[in-house]
């Protein structure tokens, strides 16, 4: 009788895992055939061979691009090279990318940039905030953009116990931003379980030096995030939520 119960439970668990795996493949379109599409206005931008995770475009047409992300479970084209931030001028006829120099004093060897967001202060200074994963941790780096020198001056590393598995940020004001977390767990195997079981335990945080709090939850791997021009509404993965401010 005892063996029968064990076998029944084992069968039920295996059936659940199988059903979850099939649902996961459907959710991620893993079995969908990719149809060739003719895109006459697209052309290859050379220099981004290590991939590009995020782009943020200033009103003057200068675009920042993060490249070289290393993330568990994701393919990586240059595991021994640090990530970089590239600049592209969209006003040019044939835009090219240029790697931005980063000021001394910042650990460039472990730079692992993910989501990015720009903020223009009242005095027109441009700041670039970068989600960084040095040694697979999560930090947010604050840089000042020097347009003439085509460089980034590192100003500050922001850390907080709630800022784990950060994917993207959108900056609202000086050191104020929303951040998405793409996983609840940080352990690789628990992350796999979280994805396969579609637990929807990830959330969106509001960060400021005085207050850090969860403002939206119930997402399945919250990813890219942006904000409306009046900053009253932010959106992540097709969800639009009212700003808490």
Q: Which residues bind Ca ion (CB under 5 A)?
A: 54, 115, 117, 167-168, 223-224
Beta carbon nearer to Ca ion, 10 or 27: 27
**Which residues lie below 8 Å from residue 24, measured CB to CB, with a gap of 6+?**
30, 195, 196, 198
Alpha helix ranges (H) inside the chain: 2-27, 188-196
Residue 53 marked as a ligand binder: yes
102 or 116: CB nearest Ca ion: 116
For helices 188-196 and 2-27, the axis angle rounded to 10 degrees is 80
* Calpha distance 207→178 (Å, rounded): 6
Residue 170 CB, shortest distance to Ca ion, in Å, is 6
Active-site residue, selected from the candidate residues 114, 133, 154, 183: 114
The strand ranges marked E within 106-224 are 113-120, 126-132, 139-146, 151-158, 166-173, 176-181, 202-207, 212-219
114 among known catalytic residues: yes
In angstroms, what is the minimal distance from the CB of 128 to Ca ion? 11
Report the run of H or E that residue 54 belongs to, with start and end. Answer: strand 52-57
Residue (102 or 130) nearer to Ca ion, CB: 130
Residues 116, 170: Cα–Cα separation, whole Å: 8
Shortest reach from residue 1's CB to Ca ion, in Å: 51
* Residue 101 assigned ligand-binding role: no
Cα distance between residue 165 and residue 233, in whole Å: 23
Distance (Å) of CA 176 to CA 124, 126, 188: 17, 15, 29
Report whether 168 belongs to an annotated binding site: yes
**Distance between CA 222 and CA 161 in Å, rounded?**
18
Give the residue carrying structure tokens 């900053």: 231
> What minimum distance in Å lies between the beta carbon of 70 and Ca ion?
14
Min. distance of Cβ 72 from Ca ion in angstroms? Answer: 15
| DSSP for residue 34 | P
Identity of the residue, 101 or 223, whose beta carbon is nearer to Ca ion in the bound complex: 223
Instruction: Give 117 or 202: the residue with its C-beta nearer to Ca ion.
Output: 117
Enumerate the known binding-site residues for Ca(2+): 53-54, 116, 167-168, 223
**Which residues belong to the active site?**
114
Enumerate the known binding-site residues: 53-54, 116, 167-168, 223
């Amino acid at each position: 009788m005892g063996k029968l119960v064990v076998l029944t439970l084992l069968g039920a668990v295996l059936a659940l895992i199988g059903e979850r795996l099939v649902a996961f493949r459907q959710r991620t379109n893993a079995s969908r055939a990719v149809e060739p599409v003719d895109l006459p206005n697209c052309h290859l931008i050379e220099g981004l061979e290590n991939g590009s995770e995020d782009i943020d475009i200033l009103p003057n047409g200068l675009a920042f691009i993060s490249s070289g992300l290393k993330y568990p479970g994701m393919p990586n084209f240059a595991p021994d090279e640090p990530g970089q931030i590239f600049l592209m001028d969209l006003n040019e006829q044939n835009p090219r990318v240029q790697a931005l120099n980063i000021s001394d004093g910042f650990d460039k060897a472990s730079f692992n940039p993910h989501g990015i967001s720009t903020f223009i202060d009242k005095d027109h200074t441009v700041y670039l905030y970068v989600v960084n994963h040095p040694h697979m941790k999560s930090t947010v780096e604050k840089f000042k953009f020097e347009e003439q020198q085509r460089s980034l001056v590192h100003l500050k590393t922001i850390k907080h116990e709630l800022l784990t598995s950060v994917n993207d940020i959108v900056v609202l004001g000086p050191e104020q931003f929303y951040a998405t977390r793409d996983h609840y767990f940080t352990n690789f195997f628990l992350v796999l379980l979280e994805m396969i079981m579609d637990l929807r335990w990830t959330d969106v945080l509001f960060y400021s030096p005085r207050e850090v709090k969860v403002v939206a939850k119930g997402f399945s791997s919250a990813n890219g995030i942006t904000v409306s021009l009046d900053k009253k509404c932010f959106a992540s993965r097709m969800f639009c939520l009212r700003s808490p401010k």
